[in-house]
């Protein structure tokens, strides 16, 4: 299992690996090798007290009022645009115009480490936060395109490193620009450095492959039924979940996975089901809860959400953790790790041998 050592707030590191290099195979066919790669991820277990918040969403009306009052920094607010800027987006990219007083955060470069599938260190995150003007008592307001897809990802990462007051602008840029038709500006704000200090990663909101593997193996042994006392929520499209495609070809062209399907025992609730089609805002909390209950989520048990690399799963994490107040982790390795890992169990509803592995290449 991938767990930090010790109890609450105990610093340590997670080893993203199995416990041994080889184990005796009870079938008598020799030794079984552990295939999950070993990687120490520094962090601690802090629980959910500094993650859950009473007001996780800010309305566009609230933000407009704050802007009318003057400088956001003087009001203790840091406004960040975290967008993907797909060519197909109907929204204005930050470089052309943006919500007044917003800074831009390039997620793919600024909080991910180069040449490794991991985030930057706590020390580097401290530098990033301070460069954005974040103080210990700041309210960080995040928004983006595509129904706050990557803004929610940033929210999860900011919570991972202990930013205590992180909210999403409900509806994101779509609500502000298209639905409300509010002002965009070209001016890029200058802010003084902040005094924020990042904490080690909170591993209570992040799942690693060995933890998920233990759950998946129990479910696989039960024929794919969700017998482990942990909910696995696959938020990808139904076609991805069923194994008909590896990734959504309309969004992730050129990417692939060796094996297609889903983690055994997971339920499929596409992330777009929990937002209003017209405004991009989250649906009411009880409506969100009923959608997941109808899909088979047992809210008496903890939840692990996954997708392709963790970004869409973070949108679900925000809904379940921040809006509903549940104990939720993101498995950010997600299908890009699971679908390319040797030996892990995969469930496939397509009836085909789906994926790149074992195909002729014709």
Query: Is 307 labeled as catalytic in the residue annotation?
Result: yes
Q: What's the whole-number mean pLDDT along residues 177-187?
A: 97
pLDDT in tens, 207-252: 999 999 999 999 999 999 999 999 999 999 898 898 887 666 666 6
Give the model's pLDDT for residue 270. Answer: 92
More confident position, 174 or 350: 174
Helix, strand, coil share of the chain (percent; to 5): 30, 15, 55
> Is a pLDDT exceeding 80 seen at residue 292?
yes
Angle at 11 between CA 13 and CA 204, to 5 degrees: 75
> Is a pLDDT exceeding 80 seen at residue 20?
no
Give the model's pLDDT for residue 243. Answer: 86
SS3 state at 238? helix
Task: Provide the 10 A C-beta neighbour count for residue 181.
Answer: 8
Task: Provide the 10 A C-beta neighbour count for residue 186.
Answer: 9
First-residue to last-residue Cα distance in the chain: 40
CB–CB of 317/305 below 8 Å? Answer: yes
User: Looking at 132, 303, 307, 330, which residue is catalytic?
Assistant: 307
Mean pLDDT of the chain: 88
Q: What's the whole-number mean pLDDT along residues 117-130?
A: 96
The CA distance from 307 to 299, in Å, is 20
The residues near 301 (Cβ < 8 Å, ≥ 6 apart) are 229, 230, 231
């Amino acid at each position: 299992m991938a767990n930090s050592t010790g109890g609450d707030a105990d610093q340590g590191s997670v080893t993203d690996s199995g416990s041994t290099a080889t184990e005796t195979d009870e079938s008598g066919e020799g030794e079984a090798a552990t295939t999950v790669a070993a990687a120490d991820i520094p962090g601690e277990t802090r629980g959910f007290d500094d993650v859950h918040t009473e007001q996780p969403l800010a309305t566009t009306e609230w933000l407009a009022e704050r802007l009318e009052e003057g400088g956001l920094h003087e009001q203790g607010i840091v406004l960040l645009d975290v967008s993907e800027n797909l060519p197909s987006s109907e929204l204005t990219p930050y470089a052309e115009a943006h919500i007044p007083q917003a800074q831009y955060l390039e997620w793919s470069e600024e909080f991910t480490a180069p040449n490794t599938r991991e985030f930057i260190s706590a020390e580097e995150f401290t530098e990033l936060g301070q460069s954005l003007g974040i103080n210990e008592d700041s309210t960080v307001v995040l928004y983006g395109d595509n129904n706050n897809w990557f803004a929610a990802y940033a929210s999860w990462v900011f919570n991972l490193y202990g930013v205590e007051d992180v909210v999403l602008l409900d509806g994101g840029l779509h609500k502000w620009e298209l639905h409300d038709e509010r002002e965009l500006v070209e001016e890029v704000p200058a802010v003084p450095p902040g005094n924020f200090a990042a904490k080690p990663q909170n591993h209570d909101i992040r799942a690693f492959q060995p933890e998920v593997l233990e759950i998946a193996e129990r479910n696989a042994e039960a024929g794919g039924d969700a017998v482990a006392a942990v909910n696995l929520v696959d938020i990808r499209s139904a076609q991805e979940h069923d194994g008909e495609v590896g990734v959504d070809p309309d969004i992730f062209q050129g990417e692939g996975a060796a094996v297609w399907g889903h983690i055994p025992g997971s339920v499929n609730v596409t992330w777009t089901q929990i937002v209003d089609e017209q405004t991009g805002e989250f649906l009411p909390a009880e409506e969100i809860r009923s959608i997941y209950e109808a899909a088979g989520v047992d809210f008496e048990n903890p939840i692990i959400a996954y997708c392709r690399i963790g970004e869409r799963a973070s949108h679900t994490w925000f809904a379940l953790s921040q809006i509903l107040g549940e104990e939720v982790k993101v498995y950010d390795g997600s299908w890009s790790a699971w679908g390319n890992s040797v030996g892990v169990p995969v469930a496939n509803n397509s009836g085909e041998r789906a994926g790149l592995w074992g195909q002729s290449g014709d």
